[in-house]
Amino acid sequence: MMTGERSLGLLLFEMTFLVLLGPLVTGIIQKIKARIQCRQGAGVLQPYRDLAKLFRKGTVQADTASGLFRLIPVLVLAATVAAGALIPVVRAGPPSFPLGDALLLLGLLALARFLTAVGALDAGGAFGGMGASREMTLAPLVEPVLMMVVFSTAVAAGTTELGALAAQRGTSWVLAWHAADFLGFAAMLVLLPAETGRIPVDNPDTHLELTMLHEGMLLEHSGPGLGCMLLASHTRQIVTLGLVSALFFPIGPANGADAAGLLLGVGAFAAKILVLASYLALVESSYAKLRLFRVPQFLGIGFVCALTALALRIL
């Protein structure tokens, strides 16, 4: 095994770590939001308690749903967690055996989203359809911009494999950033609320029909199925944050195969995620939800930033 490569065991460890940490990030965001709103708020471990409760419950299923409906949460969770395996967490470097790159990661997230939308249409209620329609309207606007941000760093590094990409950029810290990096990061800041389903694009706290995108699609799921869907959205959130940190802050110990290096890598990753999570909490506390048809304009800012970043890289 070459030095700097990540073994399969490490990949699986990183994936498990992301899944286990996912709910905590949501808990922290909720806690920060509560404190900004001068509330005490639930403990940061509340999402874990919710999940534990849901997995103990029975299932109620819409009588019009097909056999596919029970399978949807399973597939959505599997696709999202598989995307987590493609994020370099502890340290940079390509995996020892190729697994997937950033395009495959975005593809797996898109697969999860597609299946969620299909599941929402299965129960045959207006809410599910509305949520699915809105989600599938915004997804084609978010994904290309996200891909362009990935391209803007990938063109410089010559690869779309996240571990290798992070290793290539390993030495670059904010002071060494090009203008393209700043613009790409700005685009990412615009996209983050959209991709994690937060204000100003979506509101994760409510099922009101005026605001709901993602939550509307979960309405007919219950019990362990709902638990799977929630765990998937926690994982999706941390995977997206991990993607940002791999693209723009790929710092961490270079060769940390031993326990100390591992611990240091985990700590660095947690710190980066914490910073990005508090950004999300701040944005969510200080802005209102945008009208649905204003969201494309909001995402347009991200598109312009990403396109300029790419142009700067190429020209």
Partner 1 sequence: MNVDSGLNLMAACYGAGALSALLARWSGRLALSVGHLATLAGAVVGLGVSLSVLLGVPGRTLTQPLPALFPFARLSLSVDGLSAYFLLVISLVAVAAAVYGPAYLRTYSPDAGPARQATQVLALNVFVGCMAFLCCAGDAMTFLLFWEGMTLASYVLVVSDDRDGENARAGLLYMVMAHGGTALLLVAFLVLTERAGAFDFAALRAAAGDLDGTTRTTLFFLALVGFGTKAGVVPLHVWLPRAHPAAPSHVSALMSGVMLKVAIYGLLRFAFDIIAPVAGPLPSSWGWTVLVVGTTSAVLGVLYALQQHDIKRLLAFHSVENIGIILIGVGLAMILWRREGVGGVLATVALTAALLHTLNHAAFKGLLFLGAGSVISRTHVRNMEELGGLARRMPWTAGLFLLGAIAISALPPLNGFVSEWLTFQALLGGAGRFHGPAGLVIVFSAAMLALTGGLAAACFAKAFGVTFLGRPRTAHAEHATEAPPSMIVGMAWLGALCVALGVAPGYAMRLLDAPTAGLLHGPGASAVVTARGPMVLSAGLTASGTAATAISMTMVTALLIALTAIAWVLRRGSRRGPPRAAPTWACGMSPTSRFDYTATAFAKPLRFVFATLYRPRREVIRETAGTPYVVRRIHYAGEVVDLAETQIYHRVQRGISSLSQSIRARSTGRIHGYIGFVLAALFVALLLFGVDQ
Is position 64 an interface residue for partner 1 (rule: CB under 8 A)? yes
Any contact of residue 312 with partner 1 (CB under 8 A)? no
Can the peptide bond before residue 200 be classed as cis, meaning omega within 30 degrees of 0? yes
CB of 239 to partner 1, least distance (A): 13
The span from the CA of 216 to the CA of 206, in Å, is 9
Nearer to partner 1, 201 or 277 (CB): 201
Stretch 168-227 residues interacting with partner 1 (CB under 8 A): 219-220, 223-225, 227
Task: For the CB of residue 4, give the shortest distance to partner 1 in the complex, in Å.
Answer: 13
Site for partner 1 in 267-296 (CB under 8 A): 292-293, 296
Task: At 312, list the tokens.
Answer: 């700067």
3-state secondary structure of 40: coil
Window 74-133: residues binding partner 1 (CB under 8 A): 74-75, 77-79, 81-82, 85, 97-101, 103-104, 107-108, 110-111, 113-114, 117-118, 120-130, 132-133
Task: Please report, in angstroms and rounded to a whole number, the separation of the first and last CA atoms in the chain.
Answer: 38
159 touches partner 1 by CB under 8 A = yes
Q: Give the CA distances from residue 234 to residues 62, 190, 212, 230, in Å, rounded to whole numbers and listed in that order.
A: 25, 19, 17, 6
Give yes or no for residue 4 binding partner 1 (CB under 8 A): no
Instruction: Identify the residue among 158, 175, 176, 288 touching partner 1 (CB under 8 A).
Output: 158
Cβ atoms within 10 Å of 288's Cβ, excluding its own? 8
Distances (CA, A) of 288 to 211, 283, 285: 11, 9, 8
- Shortest Å distance, C-beta 107 to partner 1: 4
* 3-class secondary structure, 58: coil
* 137 binds partner 1, rule: CB under 8 A: yes
Nearer to partner 1, 132 or 281 (CB): 132
